[in-house]
């Protein structure tokens, strides 16, 4: 269903709300199924697309939402670098990055813009906690990019050869398809 929404949604507040709520329910379902990492990613996407989702009563989304809310502290880099000692960190590097598609709705509207995202690349090389610093006019396109980024593989940052959490910035430019 989310895939269909992303293909059909355009831009604006109603599109943000519809997609954001779908992401909230997706996160709750993933949490209920024990897919903790994936649930946290979807939860963070919902926060980026539709911040108003936090006003949804718990009774509408169920018990798993409490676990998701409690894990917001995971969006800070881990103090793992303490064990690495002093030194200049080597930044994370992308090993594999599937390219995002251009959603039909965004293509039809010839959406253009720049998406700027800050995230954490964990010591395990996995991205987490995306924060959109500059969004695209179509929330579906923002989600499409971030869903692709979830599949990226990184060589983690390191200090003195020890893998550590680190921030990573991504800038993606989109030009309307004509």
DSSP 63: T
Q: How is 12-26 classified by DSSP, letter by letter?
A: SHHHHHHHHHHHHHH
Residue 115's nearest CA partner among 133, 127, 88 is: 133
Q: What is the pLDDT of residue 68?
A: 78
- pLDDT tens, residue by residue, 126-173: 999 899 999 888 788 888 889 899 999 999 999 989 999 999 999 988
Helices 36-49/13-32 angle, 10° precision: 170
Instruction: Identify the segments of the chain with pLDDT beneath 70.
Output: 1-11, 54, 56-62, 72-73, 76-86, 102-109, 176-178
Is 148 in contact with 100 (CB distance < 8 Å)?
Answer: yes
Strand order in the sheet with 113-121: 127-134, 113-121, 166-174
CA–CA separation, 29 vs 68, rounded Å?
A: 11
> How much is the pTM?
0.76
46, two tokens:
């919902």
What domains, with CATH codes, occur in the chain?
Answer: 2-73+90-174 (3.30.2420.10)
CA–CA separation, 166 vs 105, rounded Å?
A: 34
**Average pLDDT of the residues of the chain:** 80
114, two tokens:
């720049």
Please identify which residue in the block is written with the tokens 């409490």: 66
Q: What is the pLDDT of residue 176?
A: 61
């Amino acid at each position: 269903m989310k895939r269909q929404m992303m293909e059909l949604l355009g831009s604006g507040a109603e599109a943000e709300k519809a997609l954001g709520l779908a992401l909230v329910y997706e996160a709750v379902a993933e949490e209920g199924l024990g897919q903790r990492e994936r649930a946290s990613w979807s939860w963070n996407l919902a926060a980026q697309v539709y911040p108003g989702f936090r006003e949804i009563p718990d009774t509408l989304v169920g018990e798993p939402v409490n676990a998701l809310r409690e894990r917001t502290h995971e969006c800070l880099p881990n103090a793992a670098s303490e064990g690495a000692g002093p030194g200049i960190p080597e930044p994370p590097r992308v090993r594999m990055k599937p390219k995002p598609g251009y959603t039909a709705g965004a293509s039809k509207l010839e959406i253009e813009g720049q998406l700027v995202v800050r995230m954490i690349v964990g010591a395990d090389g996995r991205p987490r906690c995306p924060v959109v610093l500059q969004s695209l006019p179509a929330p579906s396109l923002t989600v499409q990019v971030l869903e692709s980024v979830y599949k990226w593989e990184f060589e983690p940052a390191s200090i003195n050869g020890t893998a550590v959490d680190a921030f990573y910035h991504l800038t993606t430019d989109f030009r309307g398809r004509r």
